Amino acid sequence: MKRIRLLLVIIVSIIFVGSTLYYFTKTEKTKFENSFDIDYQKIKDYSKVGSEFTDILRIYSNEYLADKVTNGNGDLSYIHYDAKTNTFNSDSLKANLQETNKGNISGVGKPNDNPTKFKEILLSDCLNNYFSEMYNAYPEISWIYYTSNSGFNNLYPFVPSDKFKFSNDVLKEESTTLGTFEKNPSRKSYWSHPYLDRAGKGMMVTVSSPVDFQNKYVGSVSIDITFKNLSKKLNKDFDAVLADANGNIIASSNAKFQSNDKITKMSILGKTYSRNILQQLNTIPKDKLKILNGMYTIKREIPGTNWTFYYFLPTSDKISLIGGKILPIIFITILLIWISWIAEKRMDAEKKLKNLVIDLEYKKNELEELSLNDPLTGVLNRRGLHKLILSDLEKIKTSENNCSFLLFDIDSFKKINDNYGHNVGDFVLSQSAKIIKELIRSNDYIGRWGGEEFLIVLPNTPYNQSKEIAERLRHAIDEFEYHYENYAIHVTMTFGLSKFDRQKGVSESISRADQAMYVGKQTGKNCVICYDELKGEKPHID
């Protein structure tokens, strides 16, 4: 009987290991395909955003240059002309601590050589605001700039001219040469071939849009993205390769397939995979997973570019990934067989103990999750907010970045409960939290502070931008109509805003936002009140 029981255990164990192996193999394949879709979407989004942004600035630039009213407007006193070298730059911005707001406009000749050139310089000055906004929104961007065929460019972020300045060689780059009417009759955005950055940020590609004035090509708006910045977003579990139609590798999750100072060709894949890998890649269909020499392979083109995105999982890596998961299973299976041979009761006890540990860990995690989140709205509760703020506090203290606290309250919430009932009140709370959470940025966080009050933390956000965010949120809620069953409910909110004061600490900074909010409550509601703008006015709290 014991032999039969042991034989049954062995048979079941073999079936279990085989099924587990199949499951892990299937799981890795699904994980591979899902990871490919995620990384592909990242690259696609970066290229799309870059193209659309330069196209928008192209339209703006064309309209600006065509507008006769703008001639001569603008303060360009920060641009210095050197008669000895017959060049100009805006290095004075560094001395005035304004280099974070503007790029360095440098060029040859006088800034006012001709009316078109001068007007383009005025345009470049206006573009700084858009450059700054885009650069802050997408940290993957290396440079944003306007290049004029008249002999200057505006490079953002600011770089002093002793490190980089305009030269006529810039006009020979593809960001300029591909914008002519002959090479770009559609006047849409275009991507350059890979090249080494003159300003020292390594290998990169550029997306540009041509700017025209009086049916002539006068300049281009460009965004540079380095190979390194594109590559660092890719999943390192798999070999991802982004290449153009000429076989130049633009980005890769594998450091062996990229260089920071020279172009790497797709032929390098032959050293890692098989010699005929390039010929095999040309034969496989797009968007379908294929197995080449035991290696998972898939490719897809990036719309609006001549790029193709490849994904590989070599056989050795596949064995390593699956083996790392299946070996513990095999070991445990053998151990279980041995335990069943020694004592079935002991095996049962160990199984129960193991299940108990797993259950306790699950319950511990579940309780921890419940203790940090508000069960009604799904956002952080007060304890969760405190924990997250304190975890970020050291970063805030040692950073020059700003942080703001935005406390808001649903106006006349008691009337909503009284008129419609508490179910509607709960709906308004949860719906409001959902709307606000969808509108704030990914690095901001929101939590329920108490009752109908919520707190939003805005890290790395200038104070003026925090005010704009608060007003945008207030307006969105004011415009939104809540529907619950047959009820249509109009909801407004009052916001109080305060800066994070490192000397006063977190509690006092939040208290100031609370005071500002109460002033808003007492002065009409449905508004945004900034603590620093109260001018001594304090709330009257009953």
The model's pLDDT over 12-33, given as tens digits with 9 standing for 90+, comes to 778 877 787 777 778 888 898 8
Examine the pLDDT at 5 and tell me if it is beyond 80.
no
Lowest mean per-residue pLDDT among 218-232, 274-288, 436-450: 274-288
User: pLDDT value at position 512?
Assistant: 93
Say if 372 falls within a structural domain: no
User: pLDDT value at position 212?
Assistant: 95
Instruction: Please indicate, yes or no, whether residues 419 and 510 belong to a single structural domain of this protein.
Output: yes
Instruction: Please indicate, yes or no, whether residues 283 and 187 belong to a single structural domain of this protein.
Output: no
The model's pLDDT over 198-222, given as tens digits with 9 standing for 90+, comes to 777 888 899 999 999 999 999 999 9
Say if 32 falls within a structural domain: yes
Supply the CATH number for residue 294's domain.
Answer: 3.30.450
Say if 34 falls within a structural domain: yes
Our measurement of the distance from residue 155's CA atom to the centroid of its chain's CA atoms, rounded to an integer in Å, reads 23
Instruction: Please indicate, yes or no, whether residues 173 and 238 belong to a single structural domain of this protein.
Output: no
Contacts of 360 (CB under 8 A, 6+ apart): none
The model's pLDDT over 490-509, given as tens digits with 9 standing for 90+, comes to 999 999 999 988 888 888 99
Say if 362 falls within a structural domain: no
Phi, psi of 163 (to 5 degrees): -100, -35
Residue percentage of the chain with pLDDT more than 70: 89
Q: In terms of DSSP H, where are the helices of 188-288? A: 227-231, 269-272, 277-283
Instruction: Please indicate, yes or no, whether residues 37 and 86 belong to a single structural domain of this protein.
Output: no
Say if 104 falls within a structural domain: yes
Of 164, 198, 228, the residue that ends a domain is 228
Strand order in the sheet with 528-530: 445-450, 453-459, 403-410, 493-499, 528-530
Say if 10 falls within a structural domain: no
Sign, Cα dihedral of 472, 474, 479, 482:
positive
Q: Measured between alpha carbons, how far is residue 494 from residues 315, 433, 439, 526 in Å?
A: 59, 14, 17, 5
**How many domains would you assign to the chain?**
3
Q: Measured between alpha carbons, how far is residue 142 from residues 224, 441, 508 in Å?
A: 5, 22, 38
Examine the pLDDT at 271 and tell me if it is beyond 70.
yes
Of 228, 243, 259, the residue that ends a domain is 228
Of 282, 311, 309, nearest to 295 by C-alpha is 311
What whole-number distance in Å separates Cα of residue 115 and Cα of residue 109? 13
User: pLDDT value at position 220?
Assistant: 95
Examine the pLDDT at 541 and tell me if it is beyond 60.
no
Supply the CATH number for residue 87's domain.
Answer: 3.30.450.20
C-beta of residue 74 within 8 angstroms of C-beta of residue 127: no
Contacts of 250 (CB under 8 A, 6+ apart): 194, 205, 227, 230, 242, 243, 244, 307
What mean pLDDT is predicted for residues 398-421? 85
Say if 212 falls within a structural domain: yes
Instruction: Please indicate, yes or no, whether residues 213 and 273 belong to a single structural domain of this protein.
Output: no
pTM of the model: 0.55
The model's pLDDT over 73-127, given as tens digits with 9 standing for 90+, comes to 567 888 999 999 999 999 888 866 555 688 999 999 999 888 999 999 999 999 9
What whole-number distance in Å separates Cα of residue 477 and Cα of residue 480? 5
Of 162, 195, 228, the residue that ends a domain is 228
Segments forming the whole domain that contains residue 414: 382-533
User: pLDDT value at position 436?
Assistant: 93
What mean pLDDT is predicted for residues 151-179? 91
Phi, psi of 94 (to 5 degrees): -65, -40
Supply the CATH number for residue 400's domain.
Answer: 3.30.70.270
What whole-number distance in Å separates Cα of residue 231 and Cα of residue 39? 10
Instruction: Please indicate, yes or no, whether residues 103 and 221 belong to a single structural domain of this protein.
Output: yes
Identify the burial level of 148 via C-beta atoms within 10 angstroms of its C-beta, where 0-12 means exposed, 13-18 middle and 19 or more buried. buried
Instruction: Please indicate, yes or no, whether residues 99 and 173 belong to a single structural domain of this protein.
Output: yes
Our measurement of the distance from residue 44's CA atom to the centroid of its chain's CA atoms, rounded to an integer in Å, reads 13
Instruction: Please indicate, yes or no, whether residues 251 and 202 belong to a single structural domain of this protein.
Output: no
Instruction: Please indicate, yes or no, whether residues 66 and 192 belong to a single structural domain of this protein.
Output: yes
Instruction: Please indicate, yes or no, whether residues 126 and 158 belong to a single structural domain of this protein.
Output: yes
Instruction: Please indicate, yes or no, whether residues 398 and 514 belong to a single structural domain of this protein.
Output: yes
Instruction: Please indicate, yes or no, whether residues 459 and 519 belong to a single structural domain of this protein.
Output: yes
Q: Are strands 203-213 and 190-191 parallel, antiparallel or unpaired?
A: antiparallel
User: pLDDT value at position 393?
Assistant: 63
Say if 324 falls within a structural domain: no
Examine the pLDDT at 418 and tell me if it is beyond 70.
yes
Q: What is the mean pLDDT of the chain?
A: 86
